[in-house]
Structure 1
Amino acid sequence: MLTWLYAPADRPALVAKALAGPADVVIVDLEDAVAPDNKAMARAEVVALLATPQPRVQIRVNDMRTTYGQVDLHAIGGLCAGTAGIRVPKVESAEEVRDIARAVPGVELHPLIESALGLERAYEIASADPAVAGVGLGEADLRADLGISDEAGLAWARSRLVVAARAAGLPAPVQSVYTDIHDLEGLAESCRVGRALGFRGRAAIHPAQLPVIEAAYRPTGEEVSAANDVVAAAGVGAVALPDGRFVDEAVVRQARSVLTDAVRTPATTPTMTG
């Protein structure tokens, strides 16, 4: 999976359009995208949505330290077993994760790390419970907490998260959203940097961003050809290819990951208006 698209829970028409589109996962958002006065209505819409299995839906609940978050978990937690899990914002400790896992057994959890304290505890959070299926950064909040003014300042935090995820045996993390929906060139460059740091795919806040994310994370023809050469040489121990590239099991694993991403169908840009 390479693309995740946020849709506000209090706008069911947008959720439906997102689900009709090409995103691998639609993140139905009860948190930042929903005004306080609409929280109850948004929660009711999610309950209705989850009345049928929704394997492409992930729910972002509110901060568990708030009443909104606690009510979210009580209302929708038991309905999320047939989904892509719950995205939990502003996580700062392994204990928080374990508490949620006990409350919603059998549901995948995706903690978001959005503060300096959470980042310091990234591995503890990633390895807190078998229910954790992935971790991510909430970069807007993290920037505010750290006083970071540009993407370059996020490099260490991003690398820290990649290492924590892999050390915990989790998939490579997904990049946080790029908030300027008109700056597609900036998005492409940011994705290029993220991919080089070890991320795999990205969340979007507008469907126009999806093809850019696909293009940035999908392997090029040259990369696919090189990966095929490596996989063809697998099973014979460490070996050097005719062009000088050295192949061992670690290189083969990376090549197979490239080929997995290469077989995806490219995203198109659907219309997503209110």
Structure 2
Amino acid sequence: MRTFPLTWLYVPGDRPEVVTKALSAGADVVIIDLEDAVSPDRKEYARAATAERLADPHPHRIHVRVNAPDTPWSRTDLTALSPLPGVTALRLPKVTTPQDIAATTHLLSREIPLYALLESALAVENAYAIATAHPALAGLALGEADLKADLNTTSDEALAYPRSRTILAARAASLPPPPQSIHPDTRDLTTLATTSAQGRALGFLGRAAIHPRQLPVIEQSYLPTQEEIEKAESVIKAAEATEGAQALPDGTFIDRAILEAARRTLSLVAR
């Protein structure tokens, strides 16, 4: 069973010293951000610093969030960074239609995984079409801050449908479950833990972070509990013993879906 990242740490591309610290912070994926975290007058420097760091293969999984397609930096970001062996994947902000993915792939000099960030009402409506737009599309993520602005809301309740829609679109397209969007208050770890547990229950897998102190809270929230591990082990053991469907002592009927869920649980433990 394939395992997926649980922690995705964003770091500004125009601060090389912070990128260095982030690479040793323990995140499953480090995302060097050239977009929201970098002011317009620092865009060129951020790109150059990122290109220098990623000119050679790197032991960490490093994604780069390039600038949005309607900006003057987008094309150069894609053509300059996509060939570099240290770039594991590119994250595409402000994707709204499948055509945005197609236009991006024409600018890439090699096959590289792409992640589409859905940050508007139109993007959410087009979620499945975006998810199936191109074989290079490796995942979806929801940009909740921009989406709230687009929807003119400050309420998390307004995000219930977009969150479920993104999870459903990813599943329907046979993509990994999306990671949960960031919790912006880096000191409020209690709310981070609570909302991460809620995100896990909804169907997200893992979460983006903006500070290393958030990483252990996210990981703990998304790892199975001891009770879940024991339940999964009993499902696997019973299925292997009978080579067919049966009910556990607690009444749980073991079918294909239950068996796959148990395997997913144990794959998270194995990570």
TM-score band w.r.t. shorter chain: over 0.9
Matched, 1:119 2:131: no
Q: Which runs of 5+ in 1 are unaligned?
A: 265-274
Partner of 1:203: 208
Cα-Cα RMSD: 1.2
What letter corresponds to residue 241 of structure 1 in structure 2? L
Q: Pick from 136, 141, 146 the counterpart of residue 151 of structure 2.
A: 146
Stretches of 4+ aligned residues off by more than 6 angstroms = none
Would you say 1:44 and 2:73 are equivalent positions?
no
Identity of aligned residues (%): 51
Q: CA deviation at 1:6?
A: 0.5
Decide which of 224, 227, 243 is 2:250's aligned counterpart: 243
Deviation, 1:71, is: 1.6
Question: Contact 2:167–2:204 (CA<8 Å) still a contact in 1?
Answer: yes
The TM-score with structure 1 as length reference comes to: 0.93
Letter in 2 for 1:87: R
Q: CA deviation at 1:190?
A: 1.0
Match in the other structure for 1:270? none
Tell me, in whole angstroms, the C-alpha distance in 1 between the residues paired with 2:189 and 2:8. 16
What SS does structure 2 have at the residue aligned with 1:33? coil
* Residues 105-131 of structure 1 deviation map (CA, whole Å, 9 limit, x = unaligned): 311000000000000000000110000
Q: Which residue of 1 aligns with 2:93?
A: 89
- CA displacement at 1:153 relative to structure 2: 2.0
Counting only pairs closer than 5 Å after superposition, residues 3-152 of structure 1 correspond to structure 2 as 3-54=7-58, 55-79=60-84, 82-104=86-108, 105-152=110-157
Once the two structures are superposed, what CA deviation does each residue of 1:187-229 show, in whole Å capped at 9, x if it has no partner?
1111111111100000000001001101110101111000111
| CA distance in 2 between partners of 1:140 and 1:71 (Å) | 26
C-alpha distance in 2 between matches for 1:102 and 1:251: 41
Distance in structure 1 (CA, Å) of the matches to 2:54 and 2:218: 28
Q: Deviations over 1:123-169 (max 9, x none)?
A: 00011000000000010000111122222221111000000000001
SS of the aligned residue for 2:239 comes to: coil
Work out the CA distance in 2 between the residues paired with 1:127 and 1:106: 16
Which AA in structure 2 matches 1:122? A
Aligned pair 1:171/2:176, yes or no? yes
TM-score (norm 2): 0.94
How many residue pairs get aligned? The number is 263
Retained in 2: the 8 A contact 1:101–1:107? no
Distance (whole Å) between structure 2 residues aligned to residue 159 and residue 234 of structure 1: 31
Letter in 1 for 2:212: P
